Structure formats: structure tokens, C-alpha cells
Structure 1
Amino acid sequence: MSDWQPEKYLTFADERTRPARDLLAQVPLMEPRRLYDLGCGPGNSTALLVERYPLAHVTGVDNSPAMLEAARKACAGADFVAGDLAEWTPVDAPDLMFSNAAFQWVPDHLDVLARLSGSLSAGGVLAVQMPDNLMEQSHALMRVAAGQGPWSAKLGAAQAARDALPGVPDYYRRLKPLFRHLDIWHTIYNHPLMGVDGIIAWLSTTGLRPFLAPLDPAEREDFLGQYRLLLREAYPEQADGTVLLRFPRLFMVGLR
């Protein structure tokens, strides 16, 4: 799959950063010393950590060269390193491991989160947010469109690029023994976007990537045309011309 596109990703910077702000508001730390932003992307969430904890050593970790380059330009107050979250381990015990919309892409991420939780300092915090939207129309209709055209054979693997999240009880059973306190909740955001093309623009840098990457340019246009027709039925326009993208997200904050 091609590298991420920071500029397009940040077209919706406020909407993408809002869950990070909401997650950080629940972190019960006053003066942490060592912080990691896991799956830091273009540094928008890392900047929040630097702003709240200006005396801490903040490190962003990501496996995308393009995202890391953008993050280094956007957030001079942090260090940034390349790393695959499936295998990455902190050198020193962190006081906070923070992650905004990254672990849903990591295979067997519940095992990974349990492993990383064991590396936290005493009193350290794991704070994670992940989209929980694979059953939403926006994503279900990707799978429908994938099976409706001559591209279906190419897109078989795309439908398995990201697994549905485990249930809340699964996270609690696995992670609670590692924490003194573990809080898990969902928040549903409703983003007003300019028509179904706004939905496509939003998802083209995230959920649509595995579907678009295997296709040649002509196939991409045809696939998006089919997807656009399905979206128009599922997302009626509001009086002001916008459509509402319903977006559930899962949050977890664990205190060691």
C-alpha cells in the first residue's frame, strides 16, 4: 500500500484532532516526564501533548516516512522516530503512552496493547482511541461497491485490511489485570461534511486506502463512482447541503 498523505489527511485536521483532545482531557497525570505518541501521524496529536506537558520529553512513533516528515515540521517540541507498533518497545519506562486512531491498523492489537502496558512506569497511563466504525454505512458500502464491479477480484484482500474491534468486555478482561483503574467508553461524533464527496475526501486517506491502492486510475474512478451512488442513498443531504458522517470511536484510559 502506498504511503500516507499528510496534506490530505489534515484537510479535516480539527475533526481528526478532536478525539485526541477528548482523550487527553481524561489523562490523570500532572507532571509526566516521558511521553510517547504511538501512531503519531502528522504530529497533530503530538502537539497537544507538548502543549499540555511542556517539561516532558515527548516522542512520536510512526511507520510512515511521509507522516514523520510532516510531524517534524509541524511539532518542533518533540522527537520523532520510525517504528512498527506491532513490534515497537519503549527504551525507557513511559509515564504516558498515548495513541489517537492508530491501533485499529495493528494486527492482534489487543495482545500488543497488553505487552506495551507492561512497560509503563508505576503510576503510568495508557490512553488509546480507535475508530469503531466498520459497521457504519460509510464502510459497509465500501465492501458492497468492492463486490459490484470488475475490480472485485483485486479487492478481496482490501476487505480484510482492518479487523473489527473486539468488544468492550474483551478489552476489559485482557487489560484490567494490568491496571489499578481502567476506563473504557464510546463517543459518537456526527461530522457535517459537504455532500458525499466530503465523505469520500475524508475516507480517501484512511478507510478507502486499501480499496483504492490495488486499482489503476480508471478503475479507481469507476469504483468511486459506484461508491458515491451508494453513499447518496445512505446519507441524505441536510437543509444546508451537508451530510452527517456518524463516527463511533472507542476510548480507553488505564492507570498502572
Structure 2
Amino acid sequence: MVKPRLQKIEFRQRLYRRRYLVPNAVTLANMFCGFLTCIYAASGRFEKAVIAIGLAILLDGLDGRVARRLNATSRFGVEFDSFSDLVSFGVAPAVLMYHWCFKAQADEFGVLVTFIYLLCAASRLARFNISDPNLKSFTGLPTPGAAAAVVVAVNFAPALSPSFWVTTIGALLALSLAYLMVSRIEYLSVKTLRISGMNLWLRVGIGSLIALIWYNNQFGLLLLGYGYAFSGPLVACYRKLFPKRDLMAKVDVA
């Protein structure tokens, strides 16, 4: 009786030591989705590229929670997650945008614009790595938020005819998101939002947005993606115009 019990204890101990593999597997899946996005974008399969990077965004919100739940946080996991984010939210959106709106009309110009996007994404991730992880807000647009803005634009119009306006709008979009990532503009962390702390109008707005996504997912997701991407500048302007009021104070965070 003693030997089977010891074997059971040893088995549990081995499982406990290997718990670090679980969050790292989620991070690996995130990186793989970013890699798939590049493959699909290069072959013109933009709908599948959108799905792949959308999955990467969802997985990015899971690995940290899984690690904390299993008490499996590690320095390796932090660094691995950072490299994974660079692939999924830096390289993948840049490659997707290049093939979506630049390659056919402005090849070299598109390379420059999308590289600037990648450079700003890498800088944003580096700044995040040295910042306080317990802050309730972000300084600069988070890279998943910028990637989401790219994805919803591609999802809204996956097939574009090459033209001057497509190139111009694509460049403005990429450079605007690049600037917002490295800016000092404050963004609310979605992970700390609490519905119970929101006022009635915010709840109505979120409910209306969910209904719009249900009715027309392309337009609803476009509104959601760019609503968050430009919420930082809008709130900053509001604070300058009305310094005694604070929109962030109306939203309770965990």
C-alpha cells in the first residue's frame, strides 16, 4: 500500500514541476497564430489572417492569467511572452498591412511605412517590459490594441483595388497607430475594467455596441477597434478642455 501511494505522490510532484509548460504552451500558440498571419497574408488569404491574429489577441490575455492561477510565473515566461507579442502584434500586423494595401501599388513606400509600425511596436513592448506591472492604465496604445485596429480594418474591407487613396489611407492608419504606441497618452487597461463600476450611460453604450456587432460584425468591430485606439487622444483632449472633470474617474477598475 505504501509503494503505490509514494508513486502517486511522485507523479503529482512531477506534474507540479511541469506546470510551467502550460502558460508557455499558451504563449507558443499565440506566437504560432502570429506566424500563421504572416503566411496567410503573403498568399492573399486575408480572411484567415484576420482569424489567426484575432486568436493571438485572445491567447495573449490568457497566458498571464494561467501562469498566475497555476503559480507558474517565471522570468523565462515573461521574456518568452514578450518575443511572442513582437511576432503576433508587431511583425504580423505589419506584414498583413503591407500585403493588404501597399504591395500592389506602392511596394517600397509600403515597406518603409510598415517597418516604422514594427519599430514602434518593438519600442512599445520594450517600454512595457520595464514599467510597473501593477499600473491600472497603459502609457501609449498597447500593441494588441494596435493590432486589433489593423485587423478590424482588414476585416471591414478584405479586398481592395490598388489606388492612390488606398495607399494614402493605409499609410495614415499605420503611422497613426505607430505614433499612438510610442506616445505618452494614457490608455485604460481593459483587463482591469469592472462592469459594476460603470455608470448607466457607459453600460448602455457597451450594450449597444454588442448589439451592433451582432447585427453587423464588420462595422461593429471596426467601431470597437478604433473606439479604443483613439479613446486615449479623445480623453486627453477632454481633460484639457475640462480639467475639473475626469472621464476615467467614472469607470471603476479592479
Structure that is richer in strand per residue: 1
* TM > 0.5: no
Structure that is richer in helix per residue: 2
After TM superposition, the score normalised by the length of structure 1 is: 0.24
Question: Larger relative contact order (C-alpha < 8 A, sep ≥ 6)?
Answer: 1
- The structure that has the greater radius of gyration is 2
After TM superposition, the score normalised by the length of structure 2 is: 0.24
